[in-house]
Structure 1
Amino acid sequence: MADASPRTDISTDDTDDKDQRFNRGKAVAAGASDSSGRSKDKSDQKTLRRLAQNREAARKSRLRKKAYVQQLESSRLKLTQLEQELQRARQQGIFISSSGDQAHAIGGNGAMAFDVEYARWLEDQNKKINELRSAVTAHAGDTELRIIVDGVIAHHEEIFRLKSDAAKNDVFHLLSGMWQTPAERCFLWLGGFRPSELLKLLVNQLEPLTEQQVVSIGNLQQSSQQAEEALSQGMEALQQSLAETLSNGSLGSSGPSGNVANYMGQMAMAMGKLGTLEGFIRQADNLRQQTMQQMHRILTTRQSARALLAIHDYFSRLRALSSLWLARPRE
């Protein structure tokens, strides 16, 4: 009886410890359950936020796509209008290609064709001048000399026709003077010589002149100089306008399709302005042609013959100077 009492106390203590451990387990399990519920709620909230963000992104994507389609349609209309304008430009004699290589080939072929025609014209010109020189040296009669002089002047008319055709294919080739020798290009003005400067050179070669001839040549020189200044001012205004057209674009301000439309619009305006270059070349050649015709009317037949010989000798010496310059020894 005395030994049984302590064992009973120990058994009771063990039972209490088990109950406490059981209660703590239930509390931990309940806490874990609550934590799992909260994690699930947070996951659901993240999913909902993600879905809402996806819907908003999809909505914005649809709006951007719609705006882009509208820009493409607007660009298509502008490009169609530009194509019509370029087609009208082609009909006016301006040859353009969407390929740079093809455009270069067209322009190059036109320039080469003109260079060949000019070389042939120059060869024929030398023959006619030699005939004229022989007639002047032999003191041919006025009738015979007039026929030869008229032939030389008519041959000069031919070069203006060739240049007019060449300007339709490659106006820059004529404007640059690449069809002439380097020394000739030093005195180049709008694809040729200055009529007023040529008259200055001829005055001393044509003496003696009557008083009326001196006055007429002076008036012709003054009017030619005024016309040259007007054409030069027009050319400067064209260059300034062209520079402003190419620099006033707002590239980069509206999406890719907007850039293309702005760029093509700029190029269309610039092409329209460049089309007037052909007109400047034609007007300058008309002035040269009219000056020679007026000079021929002012002078006698023999004076005209001497004037034509002087003009030919002047340009021949420029060409000879170019040959000597290119053939000079270089260290």
Structure 2
Amino acid sequence: MADASPRTDISTDDTDEKNERFDRGKSTAMVAYDSSDRSKDKTDQKTLRRLAQNREAARKSRLRKKAYVQQLESSRLKLTQLEQELQRARQQGIFISSSGDQAHSAGGNGAMTFDVEYARWLEEQNRQINELRSAVTAHAGDGELRIIVDGIMAHYDEIFRLKSNAAKNDVFHLLSGMWKTPAERCFMWLGGFRPSELLKLLVNQLEPLTEQQLTGIGNLQQSSQQAEDALSQGMEALQQSLAETLCSGSLGSSGSSGNVANYMGQMAMAMGKLGTLDGFIRQADNLRQQTLQQMNRLLTTRQSARALLAIHDYFSRLRALSSLWLARPRE
């Protein structure tokens, strides 16, 4: 019994040591587990934040898209309303401005009269083009196509006549292009399109062309470019001459009788030079008209039909681009 007591103490010490090691191991495991939990929690939080950010970005994107669609729809409704107002104005013999708050007698303002006439001309052109498109789609004969093509060519002659009359009343209105959409105005040259640029667009749309047709269109494009350059140089010379006329004498001097006389003389000379502006418009429109007519002679009836459709589609897309630009979201 005396020998058993020390062994019992040793056994108790071993047990305590084992318990202590177990507790330390358990504590270490708990620390590792807590660390793993915290790391997992951080990862989950980052994932949740990322998902929340993605949801928020998607929500904002949907809102922007919805606002854009609403603006497009609003613009379409406004255009429809303006067309209805314009139609009522035609019936009443007046022109209603785009702001809707002014009404003027059509005979009392040359620019507004032309705007009404141009809108009517454009409406008729759309009808003729739809007729031509239907005929081409239905594979109509050359005889039927020729009648429609000749009608559209005659309709182009009508717009050049209208512009010639309008230039006598308000040449600056035609030059500014305010009767066109913003995108169309970017490509305007002397109150209309550049014939040489239009021919470039058409060549790729009318393939295949014969060698004779390619040569003829190439020569027509070159001659149109030369005529455009000559008219552009003439306009630049006119602008330079006007600037020199207006700057002659002393600017900002007192209004003595001599200065008033000089001023009136300068204005008279400037007015005389401005009187040549409508001539530039007529020459540019004459070039456009001749280019269309010569193009029509160079092409077959079916090619002419395709060319007229391509021209109309090009300007229609410019007008559509203007509508989209004006209705774009603004943040």
TM-score w.r.t. length of structure 1: 0.66
* Residue 302 (structure 2) pairs with residue 302 (structure 1): yes
Does the aligned pair in 2 maintain the 1:114–1:162 contact within 8 Å?
A: yes
User: What is the identity, as a one-letter code, of the residue corresponding to 2:200?
Assistant: K
Q: What displacement does 1:305 show?
A: 0.3
Q: Is the 8 A contact 2:106 2:113 kept in 1?
A: no
Give the partner amino acid of 1:288: R
Aligned-pair CA distance for 1:312: 0.1
Instruction: State the partner residue of 2:234.
Output: 234
Aligned-partner Cα distance in 1 for 2:268–2:249: 12
Deviates more, 1:217-226 or 1:107-116: 107-116
Between the aligned partners of 2:120 and 2:128, the Cα distance in structure 1 is 13
Q: Give the unaligned 5+ runs of structure 2.
A: 1-104
Q: Does 1:322 align with 2:322?
A: yes
Which letter does structure 2 place at the counterpart of 1:227?
A
For residues 130 and 114 of structure 1, the distance between their equivalents in structure 2, rounded to whole angstroms, comes to 24
- State the distance in 2 between where 1:304 and 1:137 align: 15
Alignment-derived partner of residue 133 in structure 2: 133
Letter in 1 for 2:321: L
Structure 2 counterpart of 1:124: 124
Q: How far is the alpha carbon of 1:324 from its aligned partner? A: 0.5
Report Cα offsets for 1:106-151 as digits up to 9, x if no partner. 9981111111100000000000000000011111111111000000
The equivalent residue for 1:280 is 280
Question: What is aligned with 1:268?
Answer: 268
Q: Quick one: distance in 2 between partners of 1:292 and 1:139? A: 24
Distance 1:150-1:141 versus aligned 2 partners, 3 A rule: same
Q: Which one-letter code corresponds to 1:140 in the other structure?
A: A
Structure 1 residue 176 corresponds to structure 2 residue 176? yes
Give the secondary structure class of the aligned counterpart of 2:109. Answer: helix
Q: For residues 109 and 279 of structure 1, what CA distance do their matches in structure 2 show?
A: 21
Matches within 5 A, 1:182-261: 182-250=182-250, 256-261=256-261
Asked if the contact 1:217–1:298 (Cα under 8 Å) also holds between the matched residues in 2, the reply is yes
Cα deviation, 1:3-49, whole Å, max 9, x if unaligned, reads: xxxxxxxxxxxxxxxxxxxxxxxxxxxxxxxxxxxxxxxxxxxxxxx
> Residue 204 of structure 1: SS of its match in structure 2?
helix
Instruction: Please give the alpha-carbon distance, in whole angstroms, between the structure 1 residues aligned to 2:195 and 2:128.
Output: 22
Q: Secondary structure at the match of 1:129?
A: helix
Listed as ranges, the matches of 1:52-201 within 5 Å are: 109-201=109-201
Q: Once the two structures are superposed, what CA deviation does each residue of 1:129-186 show, in whole Å capped at 9, x if it has no partner? A: 0000001111111111100000000001100001001000100000010000000001
TM-score norm. by structure 2 comes to 0.66
The C-alpha deviation readout for 1:51-92, integer Å capped at 9, x for no partner, is xxxxxxxxxxxxxxxxxxxxxxxxxxxxxxxxxxxxxxxxxx
Aligned partners of 1:251 and 1:259 also within 8 Å: no
Identity of aligned residues (%): 89
| Secondary structure of the corresponding residue to residue 120 of structure 1 | helix
RMSD of aligned alpha carbons? 1.8
Shift of 1:256: 1.9
CA contact (8 A) 2:107 2:113 kept: no
Name the amino acid aligned to 1:152. Answer: I
| Equivalent residues of 1:107, 1:170 under 8 A apart | no
CA contact (8 A) 2:174 2:191 kept: yes
Q: Give the 3 Å change call, closer, same or farther, for CA 244–108 of structure 1 in structure 2.
A: farther
Measure the CA separation in 1 of the matches of 2:255 and 2:115: 46
**Structure ID, larger Rg:** 1
Aligned in 2, Cα 1:106/1:134: closer, same or farther, shift over 3 Å?
A: closer
Residue identity matched to 1:284 = A
In structure 2, give the amino acid aligned to 1:244. Answer: E
Q: Write the deviation string for residues 200-255 of structure 1: whole angstroms up to 9, x where unpaired.
A: 00001001100000000000000000000000000000000000000012467797
Amino acid at match of 2:221: Q
